[in-house]
């Protein structure tokens, strides 16, 4: 048994979020999210990508001109958290936890709150995004959502997930 240790729930759910992120075609940042119910069932998984039917090979969708909404990827990409909510297999999500590879942006926070998710566990946070992070934190606090970095919740799970993300990032044949 020692050679096959059980991973804990936090590792499993964040691990699923990381695996989902490996499906993302976004070259700038690949994110994943996994929603788990209070009784440890996975109810939704998502990664950041274009809406269904939008051609991944159309470069207009991946443009970086943030001054022009028609030529900015921010107008087109559905974030991992929102995709996980939209892909969820059961409703309501009241009391569930969303595991997300990135601290959620304000738009995702709006959806997280409105759908009844009670807890956010994130792997990393872009500290330079001061304004966006502050807006997210303000709404999450007012809505009384518990927010935890995985490494403050479960140090071994965070270490295991860092190892897994290194493995996923490794170039493959
Ligand atoms: Zn977002």
Task: For 52-79, write each residue's pLDDT tens digit.
Answer: 999 999 999 999 888 999 999 999 999 9
Residue 105 CA to ligand 1 center (angstroms) comes to 4
Residue 5 CA to ligand 1 center (angstroms) comes to 34
pLDDT digits (tens, 9 = 90+) for 108-156: 999 999 999 999 999 999 999 999 999 999 999 999 999 999 999 999 9
Q: What pLDDT shows up at residue 173?
A: 63
Q: How far is CA 39 from its chain centroid?
A: 20
Side by side, which strands form the sheet with 146-149?
42-47, 32-36, 97-102, 119-124, 146-149
Name the token pair of 45. 């998984």
Q: What pLDDT shows up at residue 6?
A: 81
Question: Which residues are tagged catalytic?
Answer: 81
Residue 132 CA to ligand 1 center (angstroms) comes to 10
Residue 83 CA to ligand 1 center (angstroms) comes to 10
Q: What are the angstrom distances between the C-alpha of 20 and each of 16, 52, 69, 84, 146?
A: 6, 16, 27, 10, 23
Q: Are 101 and 32 in contact (CB under 8 A)?
A: yes
């Amino acid at each position: 048994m020692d050679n096959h240790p059980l991973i804990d729930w936090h590792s499993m759910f964040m691990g699923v979020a990381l695996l989902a992120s490996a499906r993302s075609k976004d070259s700038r940042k690949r994110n994943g999210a996994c929603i788990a119910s209070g009784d440890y069932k996975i109810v939704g998984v998502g990664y950041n990508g274009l809406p269904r039917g939008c051609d991944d090979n159309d470069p207009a969708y991946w443009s970086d001109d943030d001054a022009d909404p028609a030529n900015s990827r921010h107008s087109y990409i559905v974030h991992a958290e929102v995709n996980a909510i939209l892909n969820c297999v059961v409703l309501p999500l009241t009391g569930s936890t969303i595991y997300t590879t990135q601290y959620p942006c304000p738009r995702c926070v709006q959806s997280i709150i409105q759908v009844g998710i009670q807890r956010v566990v994130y792997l990393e946070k872009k500290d330079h995004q001061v304004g966006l992070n502050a807006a997210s934190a303000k709404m999450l606090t007012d809505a009384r959502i518990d927010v935890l970095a995985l490494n403050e919740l479960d140090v071994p799970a965070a270490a295991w997930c860092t190892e897994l993300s290194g493995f996923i990032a490794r170039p493959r044949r």
